Amino acid sequence: MQTCPCCSNQPFSNCCQPIIAGEIAPTAEALVRSRYAAFVVRDLDHVQHTHAPEISDDFNRAEAERLAEECEWLGLHIHSAKELHDQAEVAFVVKFRRDQKVISKGAISKFRKYDGHWLFVSSKPAPQIEHLGRQKVGRNEACHCNSGRKFKKCCGNLAEAR
């Protein structure tokens, strides 16, 4: 069984896979998860198709394709999700490794429901929640990125260098 890359601990086939394939995301949070998972599995049609119509031309697909390829995706942490009628706001942290650096990016994204489909509207950075996605891990424990090395020799070390 392939676990879903969105960190839900569910099987991929019961979680983001069907949404990436075109099924309706039941919540805005589910859409954040499926859009993240789409970067991991490099299926960016899903990301492109879930932009709100007024911003769909703004998606820099070429850059997104490059980022999807360059980054090693280390995890998604949903901080909070609020929905009211056809509007939603989700705060989350994405963690990835790029250029040998581990980076956490927090964001608050807005979504709107169009004909029953949640679509991405806008996003702003939220550095204040970035620490929340980090797991507490001892310096001598195995690194959470599954490298097999100790944390202090792996991401812990790189995080300090940053």
Partner 1 sequence: MAKHFQCTACGKCCYGQLPLTWKDAFANVGRFPLCFAWTPVQKGSKDFALASKIGATVTLPNRLEIAILIMPLAYIPSSYPCPALGENNLCKIHDNKPSRCKAMPFYPYREEKFQAELLVPKKDWGCDTSSNAPIIFQEGKIMSRKDFDQEREELLEQVPLLKRYTEYMQKYSYSFVGSLRGKIKGSVVTSLSSFLTATKSPHAKEIAQQQLPILHEYAAKTAEDIKWSDFHKNYVIWAKEMSYLAR
Interface contacts to partner 1, rule CB under 8 A: 57-63, 65-66, 69-70, 122, 124-125
- As measured in angstroms, the least distance from the Cβ of 62 to partner 1 is 4
Please state whether 141 falls in left (phi above 0), alpha (psi between -120 and 50) or beta.
beta
- As measured in angstroms, the least distance from the Cβ of 34 to partner 1 is 20
Contacts of 136 (CB under 8 A, 6+ apart): none
Q: Which is nearer to partner 1, 11 or 125 (CB)?
A: 125
∠ Cα 20 22 28 (to 5°): 70
Q: Which is nearer to partner 1, 97 or 144 (CB)?
A: 97
**Do strands 72-84 and 87-98 pair parallel, antiparallel, or not at all (unpaired)?**
antiparallel
- As measured in angstroms, the least distance from the Cβ of 144 to partner 1 is 25
Long-range CB contact pairs, 53-60, < 8 A, 24+: 53/114, 53/119, 55/120, 55/121, 55/122
Q: Which is nearer to partner 1, 54 or 141 (CB)?
A: 54
Count CB atoms within 10 A of the CB of residue 73. Answer: 21
Q: Which is nearer to partner 1, 99 or 115 (CB)?
A: 99
Q: Which is nearer to partner 1, 75 or 106 (CB)?
A: 106
- As measured in angstroms, the least distance from the Cβ of 63 to partner 1 is 6
Looking at residue 113, what DSSP letter applies? E
Count CB atoms within 10 A of the CB of residue 144. Answer: 18
- As measured in angstroms, the least distance from the Cβ of 119 to partner 1 is 16
